[in-house]
């Protein structure tokens, strides 16, 4: 895909956008490019600037500086009414005095489209969002999930260049949220519309997105595919925000064969790929599912002993938290794939091991330890749309 794609309808470019409210900096220089048809998420804790960024794209906020391009057109100062994007609000904002069909038809009626066309597009949209038969109900008579679909339909019927979704599933219960996640993903693929999705739920973002921008304090901390974010977090914050992660400080005692090692005494050691020969202290992250219980560690494996502090049965896995002599703690996920496997008990001494390659050095920008063929270019945070498109396919 060529880089020109971002100038086609549905392509979006943010150029160093900034926004402050009084003394508060909400967005502190955000830039990214979204290609047409991409499912793009902005993920971060509340107050990270993700909603403000979305509202700048919608036109409800004007950036103090920076530019926003929609399909090759500079819309930074354009009124929200005139932008070819539509939004799905967290609180839905359905019109309670209108029926479902009237809600969906609203945008087309305002644009004064011919009656017949409105009718056929509303009917088509009602099918798309699976609300056939609900046309004459009022929003108050619908369940949360159905209201959600009305809000989606009301936006999608306008065939927006991009659909902006502001934590749209926040009000739904867990089960429904999971269903809607998949449904949203399918909807996005069927309609081939750019979706920009704002959420604080990393699992939600991982499930649906082609690419995710992890945001903190008004800036993009890392931008990449879900896999990149999970396997090669650029910062400790990203590592902590995406999934359960173990952060360990590795003070380099010796370096051999491309491996940096910290000795803990009694043969215990922590190993990591020596990607940055200059530093004496590395921060590494190890995913819980890569750590094994048991002492039969090979020469290229880390080996540490510790005391079990918590054991939590989570269904498919059991989560074991182990306190290390270094004062750090590791979370281990043990797959429950054997009948009668006996979990360790709190207080028990255990030995843990993991492959040196499974220690990911934060900020190294190195290849993913599991995904050796991952594209180096894509792994290093904000790249161009070309890299993004590659990551997506």
**Contact by Cβ (8 Å): 262, 251:** yes
Site for other proteins (CB under 8 A): which residue of 14, 17, 43, 87?
Answer: 87
Name which of 351, 352, 349, 371 is nearest 360 in CA terms: 371
Q: Which is nearer to other proteins, 85 or 262 (CB)?
A: 85
95 binds other proteins (CB under 8 A): yes
27 binds other proteins (CB under 8 A): no
Q: How far is CA 18 from CA 15, 62, 148, in A?
A: 9, 9, 31
96 binds other proteins (CB under 8 A): yes
* Residue labelled with tokens 């930074």: 76
Shortest distance, CB of residue 52 to other proteins, whole angstroms? 7
Q: Which is nearer to other proteins, 28 or 371 (CB)?
A: 28
Among the residue ranges 53-61, 240-248, 328-336, 348-356, the one whose residues contact other proteins (CB under 8 A)? 53-61
Q: Residue 290 — φ and ψ, nearest 5°?
A: -90, -10
Which DSSP symbol is given to 275? Answer: -
Q: Is the dihedral of CA 364, 367, 369, 375 positive or negative?
A: positive
Site for other proteins (CB under 8 A): which residue of 155, 212, 260, 286?
Answer: 155
**Contact by Cβ (8 Å): 213, 32:** yes
Site for other proteins (CB under 8 A): which residue of 11, 14, 57, 86?
Answer: 86
Among the residue ranges 1-9, 54-62, 117-125, 346-354, the one whose residues contact other proteins (CB under 8 A)? 54-62
- CA–CA dist 237, 221 (Å, integer): 8
- CA–CA dist 85, 57 (Å, integer): 8
DSSP β-ladder status, 162-166 and 85-88: parallel
Contacts with other proteins in 303-322 (CB under 8 A)?
Answer: none
Q: How far is CA 176 from CA 172, 201, 243, in A?
A: 6, 15, 21
Task: State the maximum Cα–Cα separation within the chain, in Å, rounded to a whole number.
Answer: 81
- CA–CA dist 82, 344 (Å, integer): 61
268 binds other proteins (CB under 8 A): no
Shortest distance, CB of residue 374 to other proteins, whole angstroms? 32
Among the residue ranges 107-115, 178-186, 290-298, 308-316, the one whose residues contact other proteins (CB under 8 A)? 107-115
- CA–CA dist 225, 387 (Å, integer): 10
Site for other proteins (CB under 8 A): which residue of 4, 16, 24, 203?
Answer: 24
Among the residue ranges 102-110, 242-250, 253-261, 368-376, the one whose residues contact other proteins (CB under 8 A)? 102-110
Site for other proteins (CB under 8 A): which residue of 51, 199, 202, 222?
Answer: 51
In the beta sheet, which residues pair with residue 255? 260
107 binds other proteins (CB under 8 A): yes
Among the residue ranges 6-14, 50-58, 311-319, 383-391, the one whose residues contact other proteins (CB under 8 A)? 50-58
94 binds other proteins (CB under 8 A): yes
29 binds other proteins (CB under 8 A): no
Count, residues near other proteins per rule CB under 8 A: 37
Q: Residue 327 CB: number of other CB atoms within 10 A?
A: 7
Q: Which is nearer to other proteins, 91 or 314 (CB)?
A: 91
Q: Which is nearer to other proteins, 111 or 393 (CB)?
A: 111
Shortest distance, CB of residue 133 to other proteins, whole angstroms? 24
Among the residue ranges 66-74, 152-160, 168-176, 342-350, the one whose residues contact other proteins (CB under 8 A)? 152-160
For 105-120, the DSSP string reads HHHHHHTT--HHHHHH
Among the residue ranges 154-162, 262-270, 271-279, 378-386, the one whose residues contact other proteins (CB under 8 A)? 154-162
Tokens of 321: 């938290």
Tokens of 284: 């590494």
97 binds other proteins (CB under 8 A): yes
Name which of 97, 105, 89 is nearest 148 in CA terms: 89
Question: Element (H or E) spanning 33, and its range?
Answer: strand 24-34
Q: Which is nearer to other proteins, 92 or 197 (CB)?
A: 92
What residues make contact with other proteins under the rule CB under 8 A? 21-22, 24-26, 28, 46-48, 51-52, 55, 58, 60-61, 80-81, 86-87, 89-97, 106-107, 110-111, 154-155, 158, 217-218
């Amino acid at each position: 895909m060529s880089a020109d794609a971002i100038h086609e309808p549905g392509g979006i470019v943010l150029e160093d956008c900034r926004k402050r409210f009084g003394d508060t900096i909400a967005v502190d220089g955000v830039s990214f490019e979204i290609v047409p048809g991409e499912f793009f998420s902005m993920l971060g804790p509340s107050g990270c600037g993700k909603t403000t960024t979305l509202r700048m794209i919608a036109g409800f906020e004007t950036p103090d500086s920076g530019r926003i391009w929609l399909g090759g057109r500079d819309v930074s100062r354009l009124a929200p009414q005139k932008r070819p994007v539509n939004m799905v609000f967290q609180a839905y904002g359905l019109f309670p005095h209108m029926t479902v069909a009237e809600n969906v038809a609203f945008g087309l009626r305002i644009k004064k489209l011919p009656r017949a066309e409105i009718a056929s597009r509303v009917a088509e949209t009602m099918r798309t969002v699976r609300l056939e038969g609900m046309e004459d109900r009022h929003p108050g008579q619908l369940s949360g999930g159905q209201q959600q679909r009305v809000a989606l339909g009301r936006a999608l019927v306008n065939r927006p260049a991009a659909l902006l979704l502001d934590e749209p599933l926040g009000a739904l219960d867990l089960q429904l949220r999971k269903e809607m996640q998949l449904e949203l993903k399918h909807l996005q693929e069927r309609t081939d519309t750019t979706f920009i999705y704002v959420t604080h739920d990393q699992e939600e973002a991982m499930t649906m997105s082609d690419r995710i921008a992890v945001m903190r304090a008004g800036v993009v901390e890392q931008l990449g595919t879900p896999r990149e974010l999970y396997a090669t977090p650029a910062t400790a914050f990203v590592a902590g925000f995406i999934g359960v992660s173990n952060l360990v400080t590795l003070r380099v005692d010796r370096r051999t064969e491309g491996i940096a090692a910290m000795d803990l005494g009694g043969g215990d050691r922590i190993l990591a790929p020596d990607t940055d020969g200059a530093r004496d202290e590395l921060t590494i992250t190890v995913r819980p599912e890569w750590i094994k219980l048991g002492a039969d560690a090979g020469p290229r494996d880390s080996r540490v002993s510790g005391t079990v502090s918590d054991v939590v049965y989570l269904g498919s896995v059991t989560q074991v938290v182990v306190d290390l002599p270094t004062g750090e703690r590791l979370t281990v996920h043990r797959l429950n794939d054997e009948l009668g496997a006996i979990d360790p008990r709190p207080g028990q001494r255990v030995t843990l091991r993991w492959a040196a390659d499974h220690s990911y050095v934060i900020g190294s920008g190195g290849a993913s330890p599991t995904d050796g063929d991952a594209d180096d270019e894509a792994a290093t945070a904000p790249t161009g749309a070309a890299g993004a498109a590659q990551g997506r396919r």
